[in-house]
Amino acid sequence: SQQGEEDPQALSIQEGENATMNCSYKTSINNLQWYRQNSGRGLVHLILIRSNEREKHSGRLRVTLDTSKKSSSLLITASRAADTASYFCATDARQAGTALIFGKGTTLSVSS
C-alpha cells in the first residue's frame, strides 16, 4: 500500500507554539499533498510538494519531503486557535486517474 500514515495521531499545543506533524508512506509517489479538515467540514488543500522537491513554504506552513525515507513533515509555525483541525497527508501516484491515498490524520488542538 502507498498509504500515508501520520504521526502523532493527536497533538495539543498552546497558541504561539510550533506544531509538527509527520507522514510516512510505502511506495514511490509523484507528489504528496497535505489537507486540513475542520470538524465535520470538507477537505481544504494546503500544499503540494512534488517528488523532486525537498521543501516548500506557504505562509506559516513548511513542508519537507524525504523520498529516501518515504516521509514528509508539516510544520505550522506560530500556531493559532484557528489552526485547530485534523491534518491529513495524501500520497499521489496518479497516472491514469488513480487515486490520492489518505492517511489517518493528526488531530491538532491549539489552545489560547
| Residues near other proteins (CB under 8 A) | 30-31, 33, 35, 40-45, 48, 50, 88, 90, 92, 94-105
Least Å from the CB of residue 93 to other proteins: 8
Nearer to other proteins, 18 or 28 (CB): 28
> CB-wise, 50 or 80, nearer to other proteins?
50
**Amino acid identity for residue 91 in this structure:** T
- Least separation, in Å, of the C-beta of 98 and other proteins? 5
With respect to other proteins, which residue has the nearer C-beta, 52 or 68? 52
Distance CA 38, CA 88 (A): 11
Closest to other proteins by CB, 33 or 72: 33
Q: Could you give the 3-state DSSP secondary structure of residue 18?
A: coil
Q: How far is the CB of 4 from other proteins (least distance, A)?
A: 9
- For the bound state, the minimum distance from the C-beta of residue 77 to other proteins, rounded and expressed in Å, comes to 22
Residue type, 78: A
Give strand ranges (E) for the chain: 5-7, 10-14, 19-24, 31-37, 43-50, 55-58, 61-66, 71-76, 85-92, 100-102, 106-111
Cβ pair 91, 25 in contact under 8 A: yes
